[in-house]
Amino acid sequence: MNNNQNSNKNNHNFDLEKRTTDFAKRAIRLCRALPKDSINNRLTGQCVGSAGSMGANYREANDALGKKDFIFRMKIARKESKETMHWFECIEEANPEFKDRMQELKQECLEIKNIFSAIINKVEGKIN
């Protein structure tokens, strides 16, 4: 791999690392804005955890020990994105007044999940 290809790969990884971190920060801001009650306390704790895990697992994948390890960690990141969407839907049910605000976050979550899936499929295709 020449330096330009390596540089492009690192920039691409960094962009998705930044994107997943920014997403987690936005989820935190949403959760902080919700009314404090026993239901929201449980939902927000779960949501913030899974939203943060998306980016954390993606970063771990970038330091994987091989392609199988990379795929494994990417699948965990994708699983966390699905879980985050679940918590968003539960938060929306408990707080319908936040529905409009949550639409962009849910869209971003879906897009990141789709990116994770595309990466997984591409790498799995190279292995098989």
Instruction: Write the pLDDT tens digit of every residue in 67-108.
Output: 999 999 999 999 999 999 999 999 999 999 999 999 999 999
Rounded Cα–Cα distance for residues 105 and 11 (Å): 24
Residue 100 structural domain: 3-127
Helices of type H across 1-128: 3-33, 38-62, 67-94, 99-127
Token pair recorded at residue 22: 């920014």
* pLDDT of 3 strictly over 60: no
Which CATH number characterizes residue 59's domain? Answer: 1.20.1440.60
Token pair recorded at residue 97: 């007044």
List, for residues 5-39, the tens digit of each pLDDT value: 444 444 445 599 999 999 999 999 999 999 999 99
Residue type, 74: M
37, 52, 58, 77, 104 from 28: Cα distances, Å = 16, 9, 18, 18, 14
* pLDDT of 47 strictly over 60: yes
Look at residue 9 in the predicted model and tell me its pLDDT: 46
Look at residue 14 in the predicted model and tell me its pLDDT: 59
Number of domains in the chain: 1
Look at residue 126 in the predicted model and tell me its pLDDT: 81
Rounded Cα–Cα distance for residues 55 and 94 (Å): 26
Rounded Cα–Cα distance for residues 46 and 127 (Å): 34
Cα dihedral 18, 24, 100, 107 sign: positive
Look at residue 8 in the predicted model and tell me its pLDDT: 43
Look at residue 55 in the predicted model and tell me its pLDDT: 97
